[in-house]
Amino acid sequence: MKQILEILEQNARTTAEQISTMVGLPISEVEKIIKQAEEDKTIVKYKTIIDWSKLGEEEVWALIEVRLTPQQNVGFDAIAEHICQFPQVYSAYLVSGTYDLAVLVKGKNMQEIASFVTQKLAPLEKVRSTVTHFLLKRYKENGEIFQLPEEYKRLPITP
Amino acid sequence: MTTTQHTISQTKRNFISQKVDNMPPSGIRRFFDLASSIKEVISLGIGEPDFVTPWHIREAATYSLQKGQTMYTSNSGLIELRQELARYLELHYGVSYDPECEILITVGTSEALDLIARAILNPGEEIIIPDPYYIAYPADIVLAGGVPVLIPTTKENNFSLRAVDIEPKINERTKAILIGYPANPTGAVISRNELNNIAHLAHKYNLLVISDEIYARLVYDGEHICFPSIFGMKEQSILIGGFSKSHAMTGWRIGYVAANQELIQPITKIHQYTMLCASTMAQMAAIEALKHGEDDVEKMVREYDRRRRIIVKRLNEIGLSCFEPKGAFYAFPSIKVTGMTSEKFAEKLLNEEKVAVIPGPAFGHSGEGFVRCCYATSLSNIEEALKRMGRFVSKYKKS
């Protein structure tokens, strides 16, 4: 099970036949395990990591530090779930330290993000303050390093 | 002014030693030139990991440079490295070596092999080696003035050396048996039973066993048996190992020899006059590899294993019958179904399908009819290479 998930995490397009050979289980068994993992949401979703800048797509990202007022009984959950509903929000994490919620937002340009922060996020009743950091360059995402220095090539034949 | 008489020789003098002159160039060399001349080749002809050395190991080395650790180390290598190594060998293989006097750090296992051959051989003495062999084995023996005695191994016996085939070749000149399992080029491993039989021969005829265990960590479906761990054999064997394959550190050139003090001392003597010591930076990297590299090794082994299963299955599917290699990162399929020699097969495959494999005879006569395919490359490369090879085999298959 763990092995199969590891393989899919690396490459979601690995076929059941390939996985079956790699882990030494019948294809039907592999398919069953994957289906099970999809159903119980161990596999949340299959996505593709795309470097949109290659297409010349304008994309602006910002990391926003949000300080919140916790609520009785629900703590930060209610307001965090509320914030997550905004389509601009790409990721949101409750963190320890000087602020509470780390929110990653995505927009077409700076203006779009600025409007989101000033008109949607900051006015929320339980939001005490926000600090917006615009992303200048992405080096690594989801474990994948972007724009690696030129790959060192192995010699074509070695003993 | 005096005149000096010069005798002008009629023929040009050969400045090269006969031993070197008579040595055939490596069979891999020609393929290297061929493959380098063709663009966009998928190469299954590489004998090294496709992983880069794990970051923390690289970082330890650069940090040592920043701190100014740029001096010679002792001939035997940094004591901290030898201590870590002794701990590692005990932990993984159950063999105990004294870091003070039974371990030598070398410039890769290649240096280790050369040192050992020179340290033990008198002119004309013989070392028994299995065929196919790693290309340096016979060369190192010949350069040291010895004679390699080849024992053919076969696909039927999973390319594993058998004591029963060794015994008839033993004579008064036989000094040692050199084994290298898991094996390059076949990926073969050797059973405990057969190692016991070899140990028995070593004992019976008073022979030294040199065990090159550079691929020891790359063993699938089973555990590696370290030859010196066999009862009574530590005293009569020399263990060779290194970091190149297990920790993806080929370019660092760092390996080791472990043996009893009486054996290590003469080997160290040559090392001190030739290499002096292994690179300090590489030794620092090796310490880090031993201390914190276990997760990396296990991760890489899991990955190799998955690719191994794919390549073996695909090779058999396309009609190149392949025994299951249980170690290293090579598959050694038979290409006899095409009726071609290994050399012709590899050359045509390279020209027609742009896939590089190495003809078996580059590793000895017993490699005829086989090619070495290294699966230390991405899964997509393996799948594409095997698709092309499949097309090639169906075209030339003799029905």
Closest chain A residue by Cα to residue B49: A154
CA distances from B184 to B109, B151, B158, B323, B326 (A): 13, 15, 13, 14, 12
Query: Which of left, alpha, beta for B339 (phi over 0: left; psi -120 to 50: alpha)?
Result: left
Please check whether residue B314 is in contact with residue B383, taking contact to mean a CB–CB distance below 8 angstroms. Answer: yes
Please check whether residue B150 is in contact with residue B133, taking contact to mean a CB–CB distance below 8 angstroms. Answer: yes
> Taking CB atoms and an 8 Å cut-off, how many pairs form between chains A and B?
57
Residue A116 lies in a domain: yes
The verdict on whether omega for the bond into residue B132 sits within 30 degrees of 0, i.e. cis, is: yes
> What part of A 76-115 touches B (C-beta under 8 Å)?
none
CA A59 to chain CA mean position, Å = 16
A11, A30, A25: which is closest to B379 by C-alpha? A11
Look at chain A and report how many structural domains it folds into: 2
Residue A144 lies in a domain: no
Q: Do both A13 and A65 map to the same domain?
A: no
Length in residues, chain B: 399
What's the gap in Å between the CA of A95 and the closest CA on chain B?
27
Q: B19-52+295-394: what fold?
A: Aspartate Aminotransferase, domain 1 (3.90.1150)
Q: Does B43 touch chain A (CB under 8 A)?
A: yes
Q: Do both A33 and A74 map to the same domain?
A: no
Length in residues, chain A: 159
Q: Do both A8 and A76 map to the same domain?
A: no
Query: In this predicted model, what pLDDT tens digit does every residue of B315-353 receive, in sequence order?
Result: 999 999 999 999 999 999 999 999 999 999 999 999 999
Q: Which of A24, A156, A159 sits opposite B309 (nearest CB)?
A: A24
When pLDDT is cut at 50, 70 and 90, the band that residue B74 belongs to is very high
Cβ-in-10-Å burial (0-12, 13-18, 19+) of B147 comes to: middle
Residues of chain A found within 8 Å of residue B310, distances taken between Cβ atoms = 18, 21-22
The neighbour count for residue B108, using CB atoms within 10 Å, is 23
Where are chain B's structural domains? 19-52+295-394, 55-292
B263, B252, B278: which is closest to B60 by C-alpha? B252
Say if residue A147's pLDDT is above 70.
no
Closest chain B residue by Cα to residue A17: B310
Boundaries of domain holding A22: 2-39
Q: What are phi and psi of B367, to 5 degrees?
A: -85, -5
How many whole angstroms separate alpha carbon A1 and alpha carbon A24? Answer: 12
Of residues B100 and A54, more confidently modeled: B100
Q: Do both A87 and A125 map to the same domain?
A: yes
Residues of chain B found within 8 Å of residue A7, distances taken between Cβ atoms = 306
Helices (H), chain B: 18-21, 27-37, 55-66, 79-93, 108-120, 136-143, 163-166, 192-205, 261-274, 280-292, 294-317, 342-353, 379-396
Residue A71 lies in a domain: yes
Q: Do both A32 and A58 map to the same domain?
A: no
What's the gap in Å between the CA of B307 and the closest CA on chain A?
7
Q: Do both A128 and A69 map to the same domain?
A: yes
Q: Does A20 touch chain B (CB under 8 A)?
A: no
Residue type (1 letter), B14: N
What's the gap in Å between the CA of B52 and the closest CA on chain A?
9
Residues of chain B found within 8 Å of residue A22, distances taken between Cβ atoms = 305-307, 309-310
Residues of chain B found within 8 Å of residue A6, distances taken between Cβ atoms = 302
Q: Does B310 touch chain A (CB under 8 A)?
A: yes
What is the DSSP pairing of strand B208-212 with strand B174-179?
Answer: parallel
Query: In this predicted model, what pLDDT tens digit does every residue of B143-170 receive, in sequence order?
Result: 999 999 999 999 999 999 999 999 999 9
Decide if B309 and A22 are in contact by the 8 Å CB cutoff: yes
Residue A152 lies in a domain: no
Closest chain A residue by Cα to residue B362: A159
Q: Does A11 touch chain B (CB under 8 A)?
A: yes
What is the arithmetic mean of pLDDT over A91-106?
96
Q: Does B371 touch chain A (CB under 8 A)?
A: no
Residue A56 lies in a domain: yes
Q: What are phi and psi of A127, to 5 degrees?
A: -90, 115
3 state SS of B130: strand
Say if residue A127's pLDDT is above 60.
yes
Q: What is the CATH number of the domain that holds A90?
A: 3.30.70.920
CATH number of B55-292, picked from 3.30.70.1450, 3.40.640.10, 3.40.50.10540, 1.10.3720.10? 3.40.640.10
Residue A147 lies in a domain: no
Decide if B379 and A159 are in contact by the 8 Å CB cutoff: no
Query: In this predicted model, what pLDDT tens digit does every residue of A54-97 receive, in sequence order?
Result: 888 888 999 999 999 999 999 999 999 999 999 999 999 999 99
Q: Do both A31 and A85 map to the same domain?
A: no
Please check whether residue B209 is in contact with residue B203, taking contact to mean a CB–CB distance below 8 angstroms. Answer: no
Percent of chain B with pLDDT over 70: 97
DSSP label at B20?
A: H
Helices (H), B241-293: 261-274, 280-292
Please check whether residue A34 is in contact with residue A43, taking contact to mean a CB–CB distance below 8 angstroms. Answer: yes
Decide if A154 and B310 are in contact by the 8 Å CB cutoff: no
Q: Does B214 touch chain A (CB under 8 A)?
A: no
Cβ-in-10-Å burial (0-12, 13-18, 19+) of A57 comes to: exposed
DSSP label at B396?
A: H
Can you give the pTM of this predicted structure?
0.89
How many whole angstroms separate alpha carbon B218 and alpha carbon B210? Answer: 19
How many whole angstroms separate alpha carbon B271 and alpha carbon A107? Answer: 63
Q: Does A148 touch chain B (CB under 8 A)?
A: no
> What ipTM describes this predicted complex?
0.78
Tokens representing B395? 């075209």
Residue A157 lies in a domain: no
Residue A158 lies in a domain: no
